[in-house]
Amino acid sequence: MEQFIGKVWVLGDDIDTDIIIPTEYLALPTVEDMKQYGFSPLRPELASQIQEGDIIVAGKNFGCGSSREQAPEIIKALKVKCVIAKSYARIFFRNSINNGLLLIENSDIQDVIKEGDSLTVNMGESLEFDGKTYPIHPLPDNLMDIINAGGLVKAMQKRNGII
């Protein structure tokens, strides 16, 4: 079982793709150029504060709004280890998996954790915080294969012996 610990950034409900990456920055040439503007309508300083391995914890309906693929790409470019939310918009969920971004659903941790806390993730099993364990449902193996490969394209290349 893989386990990791990350610093938590707490966001609310209904974080839409326009908050994750505003439309005006989509014209920039690369995701690397765009990532500094991640979450800027909500918290302009957040993208510069997120460190590699950090975890975003949010409420319900994370990733709602448009189906822009850049939204999960921005989160991944910020080197966020995973997003934990009560629920996800369907298209955002699929775009995230296809881009290799780990999403975890849990409806309890958001109510007890505070920004800056450390959270332990036991892949496919549980979250641990403040001496308590919060069960999670594992993603199916085929989706974990995509995430572990770094996205759908890389997973298919690996599967077909291209890389």
CA atoms within 13 A on the CB side of 123: 13
Summarised one tens digit per residue, pLDDT across range 71-104 is: 999 999 999 999 999 999 999 999 999 999 999 9
Structure tokens at 59: 């409420």
Measuring CA to CA, which residue among 122, 155, 149 is closest to residue 138? 122
* C-alpha span between 34 and 36 (Å, rounded): 6
Q: Which residue do the tokens 């997003």 mark?
A: 83
**Structure confidence at residue 5 (pLDDT):** 98
State which of 48-52, 66-70, 141-145 shows the largest mean pLDDT: 48-52
* 1 has a pLDDT exceeding 90: no
In 11-152, the DSSP E strands lie at 55-58, 82-85, 103-105, 118-122, 126-129, 132-135
Report whether 20 contacts 39 (CB < 8 A). Answer: yes
Q: Point out the least confidently predicted range of 36-50, 72-86, 135-149.
A: 135-149
Q: Is 149 exposed, middle or buried (0-12, 13-18, 19+ CB in 10 A)?
A: middle
Structure tokens at 5: 């610990």
Summarised one tens digit per residue, pLDDT across range 28-38 is: 999 999 999 99
Structure tokens at 130: 């403040």
**Structure confidence at residue 28 (pLDDT):** 97
Q: Place 163 in a pLDDT band, splitting at 50, 70 and 90.
A: confident
The four Cα atoms 75, 80, 110, 104 give a dihedral, to 10 degrees, of 80
Percent pLDDT > 90 in the chain is 92
Average pLDDT, the chain: 96
**Structure confidence at residue 67 (pLDDT):** 81
**Structure confidence at residue 130 (pLDDT):** 96
